[in-house]
Amino acid sequence: MVEPYDASLTAFSVLMQGQDDATIRHCLRLREVCGALAAELGIEGRALRDLEHAALLHDVGMFRIPPAIRAKPGPLTDEEWEEVHRHPDLGAELVGGITTLESCADIVRSHHEWWDGSGYPRGLSGEGIPLGARVLAVIDAFDTMCEGEREKPKRGPDEAREEIHRCAGTQFDPRVVEAFDRGFDALVRLREGGEPASGTSPSP
């Protein structure tokens, strides 16, 4: 049974992100899979709740990016990418203004930061990036690769996993990648709408 609060939060996410079914499905998958990976890392309680909320709302700032940019089918210009890169800050401002969500705002703001400091919007690095954002970054990238985006074709889970490995220590926290790797089979089943096998958790 979906709790009334979670149902309301999902409705808020749908409203803010428009009627893009693919985006909504992406956010719902992220909430589930991030929660499973968080358990592997010992994230629980309020920190887990904040991560799940941030996963659902991480791209809500895109609502404030001009529709012509969001819907553009071809490559974006440098100026358009600069506009898109504002969405973590815009999303954090939105959720941070809601008392029951303000504690997840920093995860929303930080989910495009890179472990080596070359991400955006603040250029945070290493453990200066909130742990929830480091988890979200891995699952967001994995799901996006599996679904494909713009002119990039879909990748199979194993191919996407290889890319996650390749970017460990640069884009992604190596410890989070290790946890992702340990729970990979269960996480893939969960992402595809199933459940981990009976008696199986994302743990080794």
In what helix (H) or strand (E) does residue 34 lie, and over which residues does it extend?
helix 21-40
Whether residue 199 is contained in a domain is answered as no
Whether residue 196 is contained in a domain is answered as no
Whether residue 59 is contained in a domain is answered as yes
Whether residue 204 is contained in a domain is answered as no
Structurally, the chain folds into a number of domains equal to 1
Whether residue 160 is contained in a domain is answered as yes
Domain holding 13, by residue range, is 4-191
Q: What is the pLDDT along the chain (204 residues), one digit of tens a residue?
A: 345 455 556 555 555 555 567 777 888 899 999 999 999 999 999 999 999 999 999 988 988 899 899 888 888 999 999 999 999 999 999 889 888 889 999 999 999 999 999 999 999 999 999 999 999 999 999 999 998 876 678 999 999 999 999 999 999 999 999 999 999 999 999 998 865 433 333 333
Q: What CATH number corresponds to the domain at position 168?
A: 1.10.3210.10
**152: DSSP letter:** B
Whether residue 202 is contained in a domain is answered as no
Whether residue 42 is contained in a domain is answered as yes
Whether residue 37 is contained in a domain is answered as yes
CA distance 95 to 16: 11
CA angle 77, 82, 87 (to 5 degrees): 125
